[in-house]
Every structure is written in structure tokens, then in C-alpha cells.
Amino acid sequence: MAAINANIVVETTTLTVSPTTNTLGVTVDPINLNVFATGFAPAGGTNTQVQFNNNGALGGVANTSFASGNLTFTNLANLKINGGVNAYYLQTDGAGSLTWAAGGTPTGSGVPSGANTQIQLSDGSGAFDSGAGFTFDNVSNIFTAPGNINSTSGIFNGDGGGLSNIAAANVIGSLGSNIANGTSNVDIATSGGNVKVGIDGTADVVDIGSTATSITGDLTIVTGVITGDGGGLSNIAAANVTGLSLSQIANGTSNVDIATVDGNIDFAVGSANVARMSTTGAAYPGVLAVNGNITAKNDIEVESGAVFVGDGGGISNIASANIVGGIPVAVNVSANAQPNITSVGTLTSLSVSGNTALGPLTSIESATEIFDSSAITIGATDFDVLDGSILFSTSPLTGDVQLNFRGNSTVTLQNTIDVGSSYVATAILTVGATPYEITAITIDSISTPIYWAGGAAPTVSAFTTMSYTFTIFHTSGAVYTVLGTGTGYA
């Protein structure tokens, strides 16, 4: 039936009421008008779209289609189907019936991680992760790994033509001619059955065979020993050799004869038998005998009970000597205490530093003493007793002087003079027109009184040379008693 389009117009009606009585009533009967249309409302959207009530009109559901008995949804932002519980999924029975079924709990976003071609792996929480350099290019079919490939069990099988930089390989099958890295290689499958190693472009540096091993260059043994026939050994820097049958180890004109017939060890340096190590022997008796000079950059130690025997003319810097048979005049014994020099001749140019203890009766034929000629002008002046016991200033004084006695700039007097010892110091000063003098002393910068001879400081006159003598007694700790005298010379 075709649609009916009609306009219905209701004309207005004028009703006039004239009341004739005090009571007026108007009753209007209701008018009911029903209009029926037998046609359909037009469909919304595009062809085949599913329709929905759009505020009383029909509207098409976008991204839906119903055609040929198939209902299709495409690019829907949200599709909700009630029923089931969290993590359930819809399963079919194959006959078109769908039911909710329990499944695992999916996690993660499902979005691949990293850059193009990077291999995906789980990060432990259900999400994807990737690693730089861990890739597979499906165009070139090349797999790349940034670090080591570990095989906890088993071996790699297949063509190893592209393998390189293998840290530790268990390679079976048909290996190529060598394993190479840069200019170095190991030839395993050689025709002779040997294993040959080439290093840094030099072929066959090492050739390992079933009967012999050939090495081009030095052989260094870090630990352990070399065992076997040493017939080809030479230029050994330091050898632990057992079972050696050779008569000597030689280098040029020098040699060490180890397997000598008498059991000794003979050393030759340019000439035969320069030194011999032996427990006995007529030619060179003793444990070590040397025919010539011994020069040592470090100490030569002699075990307890042993002595040096022979001409000691070149001996010097002996730490502790037990010397018998006399010491020649030319010996210069220095550097340390010598408690065991039992017989000496005349020592010349003997230099002793530090404190020297002499016996109670010491005979000195004559002696000289150095003096310090540093100029003294005015004020506090250090008197370094380790530089000498006499301070002689030839420049006229320009003011009064206070002497500070010490060992030197780094050593105190307390650490220089033992308790129970005394020290005599002399200061000779030149006096000009003004009679300046020594007014006070300190020891290690601590003020110390002077007990002057006669009970008073000496009188100083102009244009004289004053000689002050101080005897310092170290009584205990930092406590001293100082006696002073002064004499003027004109």
C-alpha cells in the first residue's frame, strides 16, 4: 500500500453564550482524532547497515553490514556482549552455538617492543621486551646476536662457514682448512695430520705433530717445568730443569757447568772457572769461591758461622762484618755499625756520621773541627748542632741576638743529645760600634735560663769579638741545664 500524505485542518468555531440566569454551565464533549498511516518509516545509514532507534527515527549502525545471511562488524570501537566472567572467552560448538568458557588470564599490551626486526621475548610480567642487536631479518634470513650464544648441553651442528669469534667451540663434522681471526689462524685439517698455528701473518709459528712440536720464537713457561730431552734448549732466562743430561748451559762465551764429574757447579764468564759452588774441592774450597772481583748491586749476605776469606782490598759498605786475617789499609768500612771488626790496620779517611761512642781512654793525636760561618744579624737565630758546634759570624751585629739550639730544621735537640749527655756549643760574634749581645737562648724554641759564670752576663764592649761558650746538660725529657761564659777579644 502506498504511503498517504495528508494535511488535516481544524477550523475554529465561535461560541457565544448569553447568560439569562445567575447559574451558567457549559459542557464540552471531548473529540478524539486518530490518524493511522499504513506505510514504513525510511531506513537510516547506508545500504545493509543494521538499524537502531535514533530518538524515534531509524538510524544505521556504522561499520555493520547484514547481507546474504551474514552479520558483519568492522572497525567497531567497542563491542560488548553480556555474560561470562573476567578472562572468559567465547567458544563455539561448531554448530553455531556460542558459550562462555574459562581460559588463562592474559596480561600485557600485546604491542611488539623495540625496533624493526628485533626478536621479541617475555619480560616476566607477560609483556613483550626486546634487546638491541638481537634481530632476525626475514628478507636476508640473517640472525644476529649481540653477545655470546651459550649451549648448556649438546653441540652446534651444520655448516660452520659463517662462524667467527667463537670463544670455546666443540666443532664436529667437516671443518674448513683453518679457524682464523684477523691475521692469525689455526690449521687443523692439514694434510700431514699436524696442527699448525699462524700468528700475526707469520705462518706455522707452532707446528704440533705426533712426534715433535716446532715453535718459532721464544717459549715462556709461566708455571710448571719442561720435562723431556733438552738437547735443543738454549737461551733459557730462568730454568727449572730436571733430568738434564747436558754438561753445561751456555750463552756465548759464558756457561754454567752443572753436571760436572765432581758434583761442583762451575761458572765461566769469558774464561773458565771464574766461580765454583762446592762443599769441598782443592782448587776452590768452600761453598762459593770466586776467582776475580764480586760486584753486587744489592747486599751479599753470609750465613751465621761463615766468614769471608781472601784479599778484602775492595770491600766496602759492609753492614755487619766478621773479618779475620787482617784488613788491608785500603778498606773503607762504612754505612752501618761494625761490631765484629776484630783486627785492623791503619784506617785512612774514615768518615763517621751521627753520634760516635768512644771508650773512656781514647788517644787522639790531633783533630780539627769545622765551624759554621753563617752571618748573624739580629733577633732569633737557629744554632743547628748537627751542622757543627761552632758558630762564627764575621759580620758586625745590628741588634741583640737570641740563640735557638736544635738538631737541625727537621730534628730536635731532644732527639739529638741523649739524656745524661752534654753538648758544648760556641758562638763567636763580631761587635761593631753598638755593643749588641746575646740576651737569651731557647732549646727547641722553648725558653731556657742561662747560668752565667760569675753570676752575671758578660760585659760587651764596642769593636770587639765576643766568644760565648754554652755547656748544655740534658737532664730529662725537655729539661736542660745551661752554663754560659763570655769573653771579649779586641
Where do the structural domains in the chain lie, given as residue ranges?
Answer: 175-224, 245-292, 293-351, 379-489
Contacts 24+ apart (CB under 8 A), 375-379: 376/401, 376/427, 376/429, 378/436
CA-closest candidate to residue 442, choices 395, 394, 379: 379
Q: Residue 253: its pLDDT value, please?
A: 75
Q: Would you give per-residue pLDDT tens digits along the chain (490 residues)? A: 455 555 565 566 566 666 666 666 666 666 666 655 555 678 888 899 888 898 888 888 888 888 888 888 887 777 778 877 877 778 888 887 888 887 655 555 667 888 899 988 888 777 888 888 889 998 888 888 887 777 677 666 666 666 666 655 555 555 555 677 778 877 776 666 788 888 888 888 888 887 888 888 877 777 777 777 666 666 666 555 665 555 667 767 777 776 566 667 777 777 777 777 776 655 555 567 777 777 776 767 766 666 666 666 566 666 555 555 555 544 555 445 555 555 555 666 666 666 677 777 777 788 888 888 877 768 889 999 988 899 998 889 999 999 999 999 999 999 999 999 999 999 999 999 999 999 999 999 999 999 999 999 999 999 999 999 999 999 999 999 999 999 999 8
All three cell numbers of 189, joined, read 685439517
Report the b/e string of 189-223 with b at 16+ CB within 10 A.
eeeeebebbbbeeeeebbbeeeeeeeeeeeeeeee
Gap between the Cα atoms of 422 and 475, Å rounded: 9
Q: What is the 3-state secondary structure (H, E, C) of 15-62?
A: CCCCCCCCCCCCCCCCCCCCCCCCCCCCCCCCCCCCEEEECCEEEECC
Name the DSSP class of 248: E
233 CB-contact burial (10 Å; exposed 0-12 / middle 13-18 / buried 19+): middle
Q: In sequence order, which residues have a C-beta less than 8 Å from that of residue 61 and are 6 or more positions away?
A: 45, 49, 50, 51, 52
Angle at 474 between CA 469 and CA 475, to 5 degrees: 130
CA dist 144 to 117, 182, 233, Å? Answer: 10, 20, 48
Q: Tell which phi-psi region holds residue 81, choosing left (phi > 0), alpha (psi between -120 and 50) or beta.
A: beta
Gap between the Cα atoms of 228 and 212, Å rounded: 12
Hunting for cell 667463537 — which residue is that?
166
Do residues 226 and 241 make contact, with C-beta atoms less than 8 angstroms apart? Answer: yes
Q: Residue 423: its pLDDT value, please?
A: 93
All three cell numbers of 480, joined, read 736542660
- The answer, as to whether pTM is greater than 0.75, is no
318 CB-contact burial (10 Å; exposed 0-12 / middle 13-18 / buried 19+): buried
* CATH number among 2.60.120, 1.10.530, 3.30.519, 1.10.1740, domain 379-489: 2.60.120
Do residues 157 and 174 make contact, with C-beta atoms less than 8 angstroms apart? Answer: no
All three cell numbers of 90, joined, read 567465547
Gap between the Cα atoms of 85 and 87, Å rounded: 6
Gap between the Cα atoms of 432 and 395, Å rounded: 9
Q: Residue 29: its pLDDT value, please?
A: 65
CA dist 44 to 61, 66, 67, Å? Answer: 9, 14, 16
Sign of the Cα torsion 416, 417, 418, 419 reads: negative
Q: Residue 428: its pLDDT value, please?
A: 93
CA dist 207 to 171, 195, 196, 220, 421, Å? Answer: 21, 6, 5, 16, 78
Residue 490 amino acid letter: A
Gap between the Cα atoms of 148 and 129, Å rounded: 19
3-state secondary structure of 122: strand
3-state secondary structure of 1: coil
Gap between the Cα atoms of 279 and 288, Å rounded: 8
Q: Residue 330: its pLDDT value, please?
A: 47
